[in-house]
Amino acid sequence: MAGLEFQERFDVSSSGITFEQLVTDAPEELSNSINKTGVLILPSHETEDSFYTGSLDTLDYLNDNGLKTDIYANDEDYKELGLHAADIWLGTFFVKNIVIPVFCGVIASYIYEKLKAKKDDKISVKFIVEKKDGKSSTVSFDGKVEEMEKALNAVKEFSNDD
């Protein structure tokens, strides 16, 4: 029996999620905290409340490298989803327009330097990117790390939109 063949997925599409909506929908104590951030780590894997294992490490790395980042959950509501595979499940990030260039550099460093990703490793990540007009688009990527640059380049394009 042959194994499933891996297929890369790269998609850029409109998103109905806005930063303002995330702040409004959050509990008051969380909305006060996230209102001051440039990047939000959102629940992953199509869940409303679970984050990939390692999300707190990602949070710390982004904050330590100058990106004001927060998790979209209160401490008591935070739970992790452990996926056991050789793949890198990075998660879902909401990125405000003003921090896009810095974010792309820092997240690339995180993938290669902190996670020690190799070019044949598989990675899954989703970026919801705020455009200058306040609307957002989603960049989803599932593929080999060596192809990740096309997703980051798509994210960078939104910082240039007028």
1 in any annotated domain = no
Closest CA to 158 of 94, 115, 90, 92: 94
CA angle 6, 124, 139 (to 5 degrees): 110
- Which domain does 96 fall in, by range? 9-74+85-157
139 in any annotated domain = yes
Query: Per residue of the chain (162 residues), what is the pLDDT tens digit?
Result: 344 456 789 999 999 899 999 999 988 889 988 988 999 999 876 656 788 888 999 999 999 999 999 999 887 777 776 655 558 888 899 999 999 999 999 999 999 998 898 888 899 899 999 999 889 999 999 999 999 999 999 999 998 765
User: DSSP assignment of 13-72, as one string?
Assistant: EEE---HHHHHHHS-HHHHHHHTT-SEEEEP-TT-SSEEETTHHHHHHHHHHTT--EEES
Task: Provide the whole-model pTM.
Answer: 0.88
Count the domains in the chain: 1
45 in any annotated domain = yes
79 in any annotated domain = no
4 in any annotated domain = no
